[in-house]
Structure 1
Amino acid sequence: MLGIIYSILAGVFISVQSAFNANVSAKIGGAETTAIVHGVGFLASLILVFFLKGGDITKIGDVNKIYLLGGVLGVGIVFSAMKGVSLLGAAFSISILLVAQLLVAVAIDTFGLFGMEKIPLSFNKPVGLLIMIAGVLVFQSK
């Protein structure tokens, strides 16, 4: 249940953040907004580290260095979502984002990419993806 709650929160945060960032970007620019968002996010993450504790930063040497590029991907996420919302509107942009995210997540699960556990592809997953894509098309049609 906790995983569902965190996933719902992430969806809410992505949508609201993208709208906030699009508004900031309209005033100061996309790259500038991305830098500010990550600076503020860095401060917020330090607060989380301070209060939550429980990890062990000294084990950073044990981490595959490619996985440290998550921060770079975060920059791409913020910039791309912000531009998508600015150009397409929040609902259409986020609906495309969700379908793309699910397609990639299914590939990661199916092939066990990036050290993740393999989860076999069942018939219902591609069917669900096709229904989602159809939903986006119906949602956007005028």
Structure 2
Amino acid sequence: MKGIMFALAGGFFLTFQSVANATISKEIGTWQAAAMTQLTGFVVAILIVAFIRDQSYRQLNQVSPLYASGGALAAIVLFSNMTAVHRMGVTLTIGIFLIAQLVMAIIIDTKGWFDMSKKKINRMQIAGVMLMIAGVIILKW
């Protein structure tokens, strides 16, 4: 149940962040808004780590450079998201982002990339993605 609650919160906040970032980027520029978002996210994360007194950050040198590159990927995600919101609006952007995330998640699950255990994908899951694509097409009309 906690996983579902965190997933819902993440989805809600992703949408809010998309709108806020797109609005900010109109004022200061897209890459500047992405940098500001990354910086404020970093500051909040550091404050949370300090507040909960988690000492696991001492093992940062054990993190693979591939996985440590996540922040760089986040900058690309932010730029892409803001640009898409400006061009297509929030609803269509989030719909297409969700489809892209699901497709990539299916590929990662089936291939076992990034040290994830391999999972089989069935027809119903593929049908679910196809229904999402149909839903986005309907939203576009």
> Shared fold by TM > 0.5?
yes
| Cα distance between partner residues in 1 of 2:108 and 2:29 | 33
Q: Which residue of 2 aligns with 1:76?
A: 76
Query: Counterpart of 1:25 in 2: which secondary structure?
Result: helix
Cα 1:98–1:55 shift into 2, 3 Å: farther
Unmatched tracts of structure 1, length 5 or more: none
Cα 1:56–1:11 shift into 2, 3 Å: same
| Cα distance between partner residues in 2 of 1:53 and 1:119 | 35
How big is each residue's C-alpha offset from its partner over 1:12-42, in whole Å with a ceiling of 9 and x where there is no partner? 1111101001111111110111111111111
Q: Which residue of 2 aligns with 1:22?
A: 22
Residue 138 (1) aligns with residue 138 (2): yes
Q: Which residue of 2 aligns with 1:85?
A: 85
| Cα distance between partner residues in 1 of 2:89 and 2:55 | 38
Report deviation, 1:89. Answer: 0.4
When normalised by structure 1's length, the TM-score is: 0.94
Q: Which residue of 1 aligns with 2:117?
A: 117
Q: Which amino acid is 1:137 matched to?
A: I
Aligned residues between the structures:
141
Give the RMSD, CA atoms, in angstroms: 1.1
Cα 1:3–1:55 shift into 2, 3 Å: farther
How big is each residue's C-alpha offset from its partner over 1:29-58, in whole Å with a ceiling of 9 and x where there is no partner? 101111111111111011111122345122
Q: Which residue of 2 aligns with 1:35?
A: 35
Unmatched tracts of structure 2, length 5 or more: none
When normalised by structure 2's length, the TM-score is: 0.95
| Cα distance between partner residues in 2 of 1:56 and 1:124 | 40
Q: Which amino acid is 1:139 matched to?
A: L
Q: Which residue of 2 aligns with 1:129?
A: 129
How big is each residue's C-alpha offset from its partner over 1:56-78, in whole Å with a ceiling of 9 and x where there is no partner? 12222222211000101111111
| Cα distance between partner residues in 2 of 1:44 and 1:54 | 14
Report deviation, 1:92. Answer: 0.5
Q: Which residue of 1 aligns with 2:2?
A: 2
Q: Which residue of 2 aligns with 1:94?
A: 94
Identity of aligned residues (%): 33
